[in-house]
Chains A and B, each alone.
Chain A
Amino acid sequence: MEFSQEIKREFDQIVARYPQGRQKSGLLPILHRVQEEYGWLSTEAMNAVAGYLQLNPIEVYEVASFYTMFHLRPVGKYVLEVCRTGPCCLVGAETLLQYLQRKLNIGIGETTPDGLFTLKTVECLASCGTGPVLQIGPEYLYHEQLTEQKLDQLIDSLRSKS
């Protein structure tokens, strides 16, 4: 696969932040940009990134698989990432997660049949004072102090947008 000229120009700007010969430092920002564009990181996309950065493909795979934000399989249009760490659980994250599974009728890690929602859990999002919390890429805006009503509204508004 080939990236568009426009995206390649963005890659060039990213690589310019590092000293000569240290273009590998651009790998994470570039993977984020690619995921924003295509929704997930296919092997072809990772190979193309390797080509652009003059890396061995394995250097890209090992990084993409280390970091939890990168999706190595196709995901729904909206990936709902719910914090499941201790402080959020003290204020009800577990029951909300159950509610969300029932509401979407999928388990954690699954995607709804219409391809709209993937449900994931994540670790502490630095929002423990306003938990329970979830975020949705690629903007990764936070939805905080969640309640069942707020989740209903959020899901409805996302459904009506598509």
Chain B
Amino acid sequence: MATKILLEHVGVEGIRAIDTYLAHGGYRSVGKALKEMSSDQLVEEVKTAGLRGRGGAGFPTGMKWSFLDKKSENPRYLVCNADESEPGTFKDRYLMERIPHLLIEGMITASYALGANTSYIYVRGEMMPVIRLLEKAIAEAYAKGYLGKNILGSGYNLDLYVQPGGGAYICGEETALLESLEGKRGNPRNKPPFPAVSGLYGCPTVINNVETIASVPWIVNNGGAAYASIGIGKSTGTKLISACGNIRQPGVYEIELGLPVEEFLYSDVYCGGIAEGRELKAVVPGGSSVPILPKELILKTAAGEPRLMSYESLAEGGFVSGSMLGSGGFIVFDDRACIVRNLWNFTRFYHHESCGQCSPCREGTGWMAKVLHRIEHGHGKMSDIDLLVDVAKHIEGKTICPLGDAAAWPVGSAIRHFRDEFEAHVKNPDSCLAKHLHGAYAHAASIM
């Protein structure tokens, strides 16, 4: 049985209430950290754990914490990124809905490690029910003395607030999130300065994903070395994978990093195989922004090694034959799914969500969406396929924030691995495999 660090108590009846949560060992890490450990020791413990950011980029969390400018006279802030809007990703919502106190506990312990006395959880506005749950959990934590002044008699003070977003994918990007939290449009900032030096209100700030912060209590309770002993190589610990698409058992699974992709996909403990007895065609393994891989390359690397669910193994082969673990949004396509239609949908999404500050992103995503729309709807030209590759290249790496890359990578990889499907759409518009899904073509224009 795989180790459960985040979801261990998720099935427990009443676990959303603080008394039940406490009865199952909840908030132990707060007492241990505040009374027995210095903030530097905590940062060291997280470094030893090898924990890496679960928001998508996989940056080592302990290192990020140690970059925080502690010499500054200004207050320091911890901001939790609960914006979760990367298509295919639904693990943070799951965690906050099922066990809200785990995130609150992690926020307290992590805030102490960073020396922050005010912290915010920025939740996308669409998750209003989750916001209410978190607010209730926070009120309970105040009532029990885990938040507020002089927590557990330690002399440490912390106020924790929930902030709603307003509906904008870009606010998941950490500097756009900070702008939004300051009450502005979600326009990403130029970097440097990085948030560790100048973040919220110009003060030193750490931004971490929900799952990252929720992993901290276990590390405090069991030690960084115990955490590092789970997983494989530099992919330590467990990871939540949200699996969706054409599989028998969509859902959120906690895996030990290093699990073979094939086992994750076909075992009844996880995805349970492809739905309706169909065949696997392709997988986008880390949220809509990462490259798509065809069946042959998701199950095995180009060198013929079994592909594992880890940062390194999923990235093996670079963008020629690999992808990324990203946010853990595992989207599965069966043999009836249309790669062109899905790519058009994703590109349309990025165009819709571009904040518009950089011309390559603003114009390029719109251009690609238009070209993909015409290929999907039977008006494409053969030269459109290379045009897409060219536009994507002119976006990648040339923008203020990585949304531009996130829009470009799926285009490059889909054409690299499925060029024949794009050509077939140009030659014979009726060849689209996904007609059963979208009915009449006439309708499709309206979804733009």
Contacts and interface: CB of A to CB of B under 8 A. Distances in A.
> A and B bound?
yes
Interface of A: 17, 19, 22, 24-29, 31-32, 53, 59, 62-63, 66-70, 84-87, 89-92, 94-95, 97-98, 101, 107-108, 121-131, 135, 137-142
Interface string B80-95: 0000111111101100
A127 B159 CA distance: 30
Given A126-B89, A129-B242, A32 B125 contact: yes
A63 B183 contact: yes
Interface stretch (B24-32, B65-73, B262-270, B435-443): B435-443
Given A86-B342, A122-B126, A123-B85, A129 B166 contact: no
B346 interface: yes
Among B125, B438, B439, B444, the one with the most A-chain Cβ atoms within 10 Å of its Cβ is: B125
Contacts of A87: 87-88, 244-245, 331
Given A63-B183, A63-B184, A129-B242, A95 B353 contact: no
A85 B345 contact: yes
A28 B183 contact: yes
A85 B350 CA distance: 11
Contact of A142 (B129, B181, B349, B444): B129
B352 interface: yes
A89 B90 contact: no
B164 A67 contact: no
B64 interface: no
B244 A128 contact: yes
Contact of A128 (B87, B118, B166, B438): B87
B251 A126 contact: no
B93 A127 contact: yes
A67 B189 CA distance: 18
A64 B254 CA distance: 38
Contact of A126 (B84, B182, B342): B84
B129 A139 contact: yes
A155 B313 CA distance: 47
Among A26, A53, A123, A128, the one with the most B-chain Cβ atoms within 10 Å of its Cβ is: A128
Given A31-B166, A90-B331, A91-B244, 6 more contacts: A25-B183, A63-B185, A90-B246, A123-B87, A128-B89, A129-B250
B127 A91 contact: no
Nearest to A66: B185
Interface string B223-256: 0000000000000000000111110001110000
6 contacts: A31-B166, A90-B437, A94-B447, A124-B86, A140-B125, A140-B127
A130 B250 contact: yes
B446 interface: yes
Among B88, B118, B168, the one with the most A-chain Cβ atoms within 10 Å of its Cβ is: B88
A92 B329 CA distance: 19
B188 to A, nearest CB: 13
A67 B128 contact: no
B168 A24 contact: no
Closest 9 pairs between A and B when the two form their complex, measured CB to CB: A67-B166, A69-B167, A129-B250, A24-B183, A27-B183, A68-B167, A140-B128, A128-B244, A66-B185
A92 B128 CA distance: 25
Contact of B129 (A84, A89, A130, A141): A141
A70 B165 CA distance: 11
Given A29-B163, A67-B166, A68-B168, A95 B438 contact: yes
Interface string B117-146: 010100011111100000000000000000
Nearest to A60: B183
A28 B164 contact: yes
Interface string B165-202: 11111000000000011111110000000000000010
A140 B129 CA distance: 7
Given A17-B161, A95-B438, A126-B93, A90 B183 contact: no
Contacts of A27: 183
B372 to A, nearest CB: 12
A97 B49 CA distance: 46
A123 B88 CA distance: 11
Contacts of A141: 129
B288 A86 contact: yes
Contacts of A94: 437-439, 443-444, 447
Contacts of A126: 84-85, 89-90, 92-93, 124, 126-127
A131 to B, nearest CB: 7
B168 A67 contact: yes
Contacts of B159: 17
A26 B55 CA distance: 25
A63 B125 CA distance: 14
B437 A89 contact: yes
B87 A124 contact: yes
